[in-house]
Each structure stands twice: as C-alpha cells, then as structure tokens.
C-alpha cells in the first residue's frame, strides 16, 4: 500500500497503464493526462493556496470536468462488468 507524502499519486499510477498486477487499468494514457490538472488542483486546494486562485483557469477545469468524469465512469463500468 502506498504511503508517504505522495501516496495519492502512487495509488493513481497503480491503476494506470501498465497497472500493478492484479489491479485493473482504470486510466489509459489519455485519461491520466486529462486528470492531471485535477490532481494538481487537489494539491493546490489541500495546501490552502486559495488566495492565489486563478478563477479563469479554474473555470476551464470545471467546464471539462463532465468529460473527464464520464470517461472514468465508462472505464469503471467496463471493469465492473468483467466481475459479473
């Protein structure tokens, strides 16, 4: 199990291609790239840099969130269907 300051990044990478066997590949290269800004945003908010927020840049991420979430849900559904 990942630990330390970058545990969340390591956990994410374990589900990327190539995955850490026996974990499924939930994020292909395109999805991992599309999700990178959201992971950076999480870091930004978590460390309370809110006073430096670039609202125009954040709006772009919010506008694209539906597509990123939809792609993840599709990939997860495909994996869950293999378990049935």
Residues 44-78 have pLDDT tens digits of 677 766 566 677 767 777 788 888 889 889 999 99
| Residue 19 reports pLDDT greater than 70 | yes
**In terms of C-beta distances under 8 Å and separation of at least 24 residues, what long-range contacts does 66-72 make, across chains too?**
67/34, 68/31, 68/34, 68/35, 68/38, 71/30, 71/31, 71/34, 72/26, 72/27, 72/31, 72/35
**What does the mean pLDDT of the chain come to?**
82
Tally of domains within the chain: 1
Assigned domain for 39 exists = yes
Q: 42 or 14, which is more confident?
A: 14
Assigned domain for 7 exists = no
The token duo for 77 is 């559904």
Structural domain harbouring 30: 23-83
pTM: 0.68
Select from 81, 77, 79 the least CA-distant residue to 24: 79
Task: State the pLDDT at residue 60.
Answer: 72
Assigned domain for 79 exists = yes
6 three-state secondary structure: coil
Assigned domain for 17 exists = no
């Amino acid at each position: 199990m990942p630990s330390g300051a970058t545990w969340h990044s390591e956990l994410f990478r374990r589900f990327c291609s190539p995955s850490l066997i026996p974990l499924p590949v939930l994020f292909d290269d395109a999805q991992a790239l599309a999700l990178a800004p959201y992971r950076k945003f999480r870091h930004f908010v978590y460390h309370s840099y809110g006073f430096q927020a670039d609202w125009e840049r954040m709006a772009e991420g919010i506008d694209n969130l539906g597509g990123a979430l939809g792609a993840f849900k599709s990939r997860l559904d495909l994996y869950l269907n293999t378990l049935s």
